[in-house]
A and B are shown apart, each in its own frame.
Chain A
Amino acid sequence: MDVLISAFHMVFAFDVLGVILLGSAFGLFVGATPGLSATMAVALLVPVTFFLSPVAAIGAIVSCSAMSIFAGDIPGALLRIPGTPASAAYMRELDALNQKGRLDLALGTSMMVAVIGGLIGTAILVVAAPQLAEVALLFSTYEYFWLALLGLSCATLVAGRDRLKGTVSLLLGLFLTMIGLDVTTGLPRYTFGLIDLQAGISLIAVMIGAFAVAEILRSAQNPLETPEKPAKAGLSILRGQGRNLWTHKGAVARGSILGTLIGALPGAGADIAAWIAYAVSQRFSKKADNYGKGEPEAIAGAASANNAALSGSYVPALVFGIPGDSITAIVVGVLVLKGIQPGPMVFITSPDLVNAIYIVFVLANLLIIPLGLLAIIGGRQLLGVRMGKLYPSILLLCVLGTFATNNSLFDLWTLAAVGVLVWIMEANDYPAAPLVLGLVLGRVVEENFMSSMIKADGNLLAFFERPIAGVLGVITLLVWLAPPALALLRRLSGRSGGRQSSLANEGKS
């Protein structure tokens, strides 16, 4: 009980509440602006969090990301452009309802189910995280090594269309972590005599470069579009929502639980959760034929899932210190920069912090209602911001934010280089998320690998001797080896099938 009271004290401080409110407002703006993603919003917040207490920093990130994921629905409904990728799955439904003159129903449903999804996700996080943390306490370096590697491996699986390229992107992130002083011996590696490189590559510069500068470059290469004036929406979005939600309670519950579970999987974020939840909702629906034509049930199933996924992704991040997606990778990075290593020990050493995070989640999700209403009412103005005003301002935030954290010019060179590199990589289907996950987890992987190697005296079999380590190791190897093995089998069976059919044809002729 004392821990809970202490957590409430941590959250309900003037500065923390102010930061949560500002973080929400910022997330709302970025999420509602087409072309800017929730990850970009969080990356831009990182330099600010550098100067905040851990609770305020997490509060800013959680509220910003929760709000921006919901806010992505606003341009989806008003302009038929998803504000963030997480809204793309059900954008057709939002637009179709708008075309039918039911904009209020579209936005009202998406807003309310986002809140419910986020709260159900938080409830699952509160229940599951401490249980898993107890199991995680039994982990040694072997288990942590496999777990981090498994997380990274799964991230490459779902990060992009091309698994090979995802793996190369991950390797690049792992390589960047090796720059600086070696984790076990303290000897410099890949520093080329530069003092600036001894402390390693700045995580903040890489995150802002990868998720913000690269995004600006991508927008710069496209022709400029003048935003059209969208339709009006107001307080009417709340009318009849009680009955609407009750009608679709099954879809909301299913979407929320599914979203949380998908969010907890390494690599699968809010956008994947929304797509899967949409498909599952359609599969179980009695009105499956109405999907794609403006069916509120579809919005209820998918829009609850993407916000729930955000809470779910904090399960592996908090319990194991293994981020599940780009946003939690940034969170883990921020906590590490603040001297807090997420993992099961956090539940013992800082239970008040863990409880504070739960409270922040509840607050951030509840704030969606008043701030979301404001954004929907002011949506016409918000969506009318010209790109010529928007992108130079974001670039300025990137530059000052990166420079401010260390007052280091070298970080600016890193920012420019990573921005251009990731822009080129993404244009060639090399995804950015594995690079950042590799950079965040690289040290964890190497530290645990080296410690395990020392303990095992170089015997690789020791990595499989402990039961949990063995299971995790086998799963990791399966993740790596099963897809190429299956592809090979498919090719072989295709060839033999082809040969059989050609023989059959020869026989016929």
Chain B
Amino acid sequence: MRLPDIWTGLGFAVLGIFVVLQAQGFPEPAGAASPRLFPRIIGGAFVLFGLMIAGRSLAARLQGGDVRLVPQMEDWMRSPNRLARIVFIPLAIVLYGLLAPLLGSLPVSVVLVFVSALLWDERPVAAALVAVGVCLAVTLFFIEVMRVPLPTGPFPGALF
């Protein structure tokens, strides 16, 4: 996702201002090193370098360079399949976090991997086989080999 440098630079500069302003509120215990010092330096540097990136881009635009102010449409944005794949990746992570404690790690993983495989253009039967096979293998590895307690949901200890 290509964004104009002016906006990314300004975004980081704003983050720097936020970092510095937040640091102003940190308590300073008497006789100790200030917990504000390092955040101020980092926040200040954010502002400086963010503005430099934005300024550089603005200067190039003023000199007639091909610098846009609005993000451009990219190939993947026009493809519903690719867009769905991209949106589903962070969504799958969040859904696992929300649903696994309620429904159990294995069933949630199987559904998420199945949907994900479909979005990567796998046929339903192949996607189902991959989902079941991979999820079983990975879950067993974490539970049996690594001894990690994954959420079991409504089936406490019944799955393995």
What is the interface of chain A, defined by CB distance below 8 A to chain B?
A: 48, 51, 164-165, 167-168, 171-172, 174-175, 178, 182, 184-185, 187, 189-190, 213, 216-217, 220-224, 386-389, 391-393, 395-400, 403-404, 407, 409, 412-413, 415-417, 419-420, 423-424, 427-428, 430, 446, 449-450, 453-454
Contact = CB atoms under 8 A, between A and B. Distances in A.
Nearest to B52: A164
A396 B112 contact: yes
Interface in B103-160: 105, 109, 112-113, 116-117, 120-122, 126-127, 130-131, 134-135, 138-139, 142, 146-150
Interface of B: 1-3, 5, 8, 12, 15, 19, 22-23, 26-27, 29, 32-33, 35, 37-39, 42-43, 45-46, 49-50, 52-53, 56, 74-76, 79, 82, 85-86, 89-90, 92-94, 96-97, 100-101, 105, 109, 112-113, 116-117, 120-122, 126-127, 130-131, 134-135, 138-139, 142, 146-150
A192 to B, nearest CB: 9
Given A221-B76, A391-B116, A392-B131, A168 B38 contact: no
Contact of A424 (B3, B89, B100, B127): B3
The interface centre, meaning the residue of B38, B75, B85, B127 with most chain A CB atoms within 10 A of its CB, is: B38
Contacts of A393: 113, 130, 134, 138
Given A164-B49, A220-B86, A392 B93 contact: no
A251 B68 CA distance: 47
A392 B97 contact: no
Given A167-B49, A184-B33, A213-B89, A190 B22 contact: yes
B39 A178 contact: yes
A403 B120 contact: no
Contacts of A392: 112-113, 116-117, 120, 130-131, 134
A490 to B, nearest CB: 16
B148 to A, nearest CB: 4
Contact of B42 (A175, A222, A223, A407): A175
A222 B150 contact: no
Instruction: Name which of B85, B93, B135 has the most chain A CB atoms within 10 A of its CB.
Output: B93
B93 A400 contact: no
A69 B113 CA distance: 28
A182 B33 CA distance: 10
A178 B122 contact: no
A497 B6 CA distance: 31
6 contacts: A175-B19, A187-B27, A222-B76, A387-B121, A396-B138, A428-B5
B5 to A, nearest CB: 7
A388 B120 CA distance: 5
Contact of A386 (B49, B79, B82, B122): B122
Contact of B33 (A175, A388, A453): A453
A220 B46 contact: no
B83 to A, nearest CB: 9
Contacts of B86: 217, 220-221
**A-B complex: 6 closest residue pairs judged by Cβ atoms:** A388-B122, A388-B120, A392-B116, A412-B97, A221-B76, A220-B85
